Amino acid sequence: MIIKPKFRGFICTTSHPEGCAYSVQEQIKYVKQQRPIKGPQKVLVIGSSTGYGLASRIVSTFASGASTLGVFLEKPAANGNTATAGWYNTAAFEKAAAEAGYYAKSINGDAFSDQVKTKVIEQIREDLGQIDLVIYSIAAPRRTHPVTGEVFSSVIKPIGDSFTSKTVDLNSNEIVDVTLKPATEEEIRGTVAVMGGEDWERWMHQLKGAGVLAPGATTIGYSYIGPKITYPIYKEGTIGRAKDHLYATSKEINNQIKDIEGKAFVAVNKALITQASAAIPVVPLYLMLLSRVMDTKGLEENCIEQMYRLLGSKLCETKNLSSADQMIRVDDYEMRDDVQEEVAKLWEKACAGDLNIIPDLEEYRKEFFKLFGFGFDDVDYDKDVNENVPILSIQSQE
Catalytic residue IDs: 234
Name the residue among 289, 260, 86 with its Cα closest to residue 175.
Answer: 289
361, 364, 370, 374 alpha-carbon torsion, rounded to 10°: 0
Nearer Cβ to ligand NAD (334/387): 334
Residue of 133, 139, 282, 361 that binds ligand NAD (CB under 6 A) = 139
Name the residue among 28, 92, 23, 35 with its Cα closest to residue 61.
Answer: 28
* CA-to-CA separations, 340 to 226, 305, 394, in angstroms, rounded: 10, 20, 44
Tell me the torsion sign for CA atoms 152, 158, 160, 164: negative
Q: How far is Cα 311 from Cα 66, in angstroms, rounded to an integer?
A: 12
Residue of 12, 28, 59, 138 that binds ligand NAD (CB under 6 A) = 138
Q: Find the part of the chain contacting ligand NAD (CB under 6 A) among 3-11, 46-54, 342-350, 358-366.
A: 46-54
To the nearest 10 degrees (0 to 180), the angle between helices 198-209 and 114-123 is 40
Q: How many CA atoms lie within 13 A of 70 on its CB side?
A: 34
Whole-number minimum distance, CB 108 to ligand NAD, in Å? 8
Nearer Cβ to ligand NAD (71/214): 71
Residue of 111, 120, 285, 394 that binds ligand NAD (CB under 6 A) = 111
Whole-number minimum distance, CB 59 to ligand NAD, in Å? 13
11 binds ligand NAD (CB under 6 A): no
106 binds ligand NAD (CB under 6 A): no
Residues 275-294 that bind ligand NAD (CB under 6 A): 275-277
Nearer Cβ to ligand NAD (137/218): 137
Whole-number minimum distance, CB 3 to ligand NAD, in Å? 20
335 binds ligand NAD (CB under 6 A): no
Question: Residue 342 in contact with residue 334, Cβ under 8 Å?
Answer: no
233 binds ligand NAD (CB under 6 A): no
Q: How far is Cα 43 from Cα 120, in angstroms, rounded to an integer?
A: 12
Name the residue among 50, 14, 353, 26 with its Cα closest to residue 174.
Answer: 353
Nearer Cβ to ligand NAD (19/86): 86
Residue of 156, 257, 272, 328 that binds ligand NAD (CB under 6 A) = 272
Residue of 14, 23, 49, 250 that binds ligand NAD (CB under 6 A) = 49
Q: How far is Cα 90 from Cα 21, in angstroms, rounded to an integer?
A: 9
Q: How far is Cα 90 from Cα 104, in angstroms, rounded to an integer?
A: 10
300 binds ligand NAD (CB under 6 A): no
Q: How far is Cα 211 from Cα 68, in angstroms, rounded to an integer?
A: 18
Question: Residue 6 in contact with residue 13, Cβ under 8 Å?
Answer: yes
Q: What mask of x and - would describe binding to ligand NAD in positions 55 to 74, judged by CB under 6 A?
A: ----------------xxxx
Tell me the torsion sign for CA atoms 266, 268, 269, 274: positive
308 binds ligand NAD (CB under 6 A): no
88 binds ligand NAD (CB under 6 A): no
Nearer Cβ to ligand NAD (138/257): 138
Residue of 26, 110, 236, 363 that binds ligand NAD (CB under 6 A) = 110
51 binds ligand NAD (CB under 6 A): yes
The pair phi, psi for residue 213, each rounded to 5°, is: -95, 125
Residue of 274, 302, 326, 393 that binds ligand NAD (CB under 6 A) = 274
Interface with ligand NAD (CB under 6 A), residue total 29
Q: Give residues in contact with ligand NAD (CB under 6 A).
A: 47-53, 71-74, 86, 110-112, 137-140, 222-224, 269, 271-272, 274-277
